[in-house]
Chains A and B, each alone.
Chain A
């Protein structure tokens, strides 16, 4: 193992922050539904990729700026999130069964994507896809920077909403003790649908970020599951800031490992870190 140059190390760490912010953004909606609604929503990944393909379609064929596609994608995926929550609550799906049910929905979404866009690779070419600027000796790619800024804004925005608004308090109360919250007049069904809609919209935003930086193929849906689950578990279920912080920790640890050693060691280091933190963090049960 040779010691990398300071520039290499800093550039790698920066790329870790960027990829980590995407882990965090993908994990944000997943962690909220898991922690607050007790639904392990694998379809979140399917929604994100569906949004990515829609963004690709609107931008490539329709000539719409990729970021402007959010105006359509966010409400559409909010509605999808609400619809899914209605479906799951209609059949009183348990947390474990939700994993299976949403895996099925993901498979259906994957098949749908393959039907409409084929299994071939799709790359969104946008005006700023290749834009970058220099800060000192480091290169900052614009699409990744957009992802980081969106992840920060949404994570802190949701954190503030959960902490300082009645809606946030109601959601936290429902997660803590649903019958008592209901006794105080909190409408569980309506709040659950609203939260599920928000998480659907978050998947939509994450999808646009995916389309900005990555080449799309339907089977890529599953490539993100492991590392995003790790970010959610490490960050804490139901926490709006946790997945982003954990995602960045994982991203940076992986990137720095790649800078020092073989890239194939990166998952070993990040998942060892996950195990260590889960075992050692205070308050574990």
Chain B
């Protein structure tokens, strides 16, 4: 397969988020002001004209307000007839006069309404859509849609095939970036198209029974390395977001082309398939500019961006589809449960840094190659957590899928003064010296085997006082099993007879942001090959236990219904757990063994739903 697919989405949002606030500066709020509506429609026309000029078809997502605007409706019908654009639907842009009068609410985020109102809005807007166009939409979207909302839509309107279901890694980092005022707290989803579980939108479906019935796409295709430690709203297929990040000079934005080209490279890791979504709201192309950028550069960046896709299309390198066409294609050509992979390289900071991402129905894993190939973010999709969001739910605004490892939110390799942060890494000991692999920068190689995807971490050199070794790491992801086989092998040694202790460990916790959550009641255990078992219930008392010749070391985190374990493939391994304490609120499990040249420690990291 050789398929790079593009969805371009435009929405006639007659009261755009940003234009509206600009128009209201110093004035009494007047949602629906004529000049705002007219400017927004002009922007929509311009966006459409730019797409068509470059031979690209679009999906037009009708907002609530646009379904009550005759001029817009006629315009959209014309685009559909002349260019084959899809007329779809969105829950963005509900902030209009008609909506406020009917619902008596200023809420603007579909995923944050109480469920009874979500249902009313679905029926109201879908029926209005049918009244206007004579058919129901087959694609919809919002910045986030939880599984409860998607299940309801699919049950009531089974013709819906596609949805913009999340914004990839818009979570605490974006919240902070927006002066703690933009409530898209939704970390944890796949970064490209996927089929969600009926139990949680973020999680990839297990099987046909778990299939929610729609193909989900993330709002924008983002830089998989830049977003790890930065707000994602500056690093995506959205030229004006790139301008917001000041990643440009004059009218030059080479980074936006670099992003597209790196997404073409993603075909290499996904059996020839890759995907891009472009979705620029009209508020980003207002005549009054956006922050420092004037209208000219905002407009030109969009023209240049779509012109590049147009060139790629002419060269046969990208295929533009509408959202529903893409959903049909995806159903026929992609496996329901993944996996999806990406070995992403730095294209903006001038480093050799790389990151590997993997996702299937059991987990989403991020491996930071500059940290020796440590797992720095792990979301346990296997638990298929039921986690509805919005008013009246426990999570309310916090729509993220919880992590069990997050090295940036929860310290990782570096802590101040005491304790250890959340990371899956490895320590190598020789005599009294110890080196954490996360301090050894490396890069990765990618390959595939029967039912598995393999990340090779290029060997790193580890220097002790009287010994230098090279250690190679391999991660083998056994597709949709929740198992990662991790091999640590000594491939060179200055003292061939010397042995070092390799300690394969996981320091874990759970949460959705930077702050610690309660670990009370987590179960830590070490089981021996002889059938013995030592178990502990977490109470922040800094207790620990180790045993020789172990079968496995495990942790159950009931708060996220997740069990995670490390099982060695060989005899004679030591296993341990460490409880942690309140200043170091983590749990730790590990497997260790002494090995020499050309020997390896192989362990299986398994993530599963806790019973």
Partners in one complex: no
Taking beta carbons and an 8 Å cutoff, which residues of A are in contact with B?
Answer: none
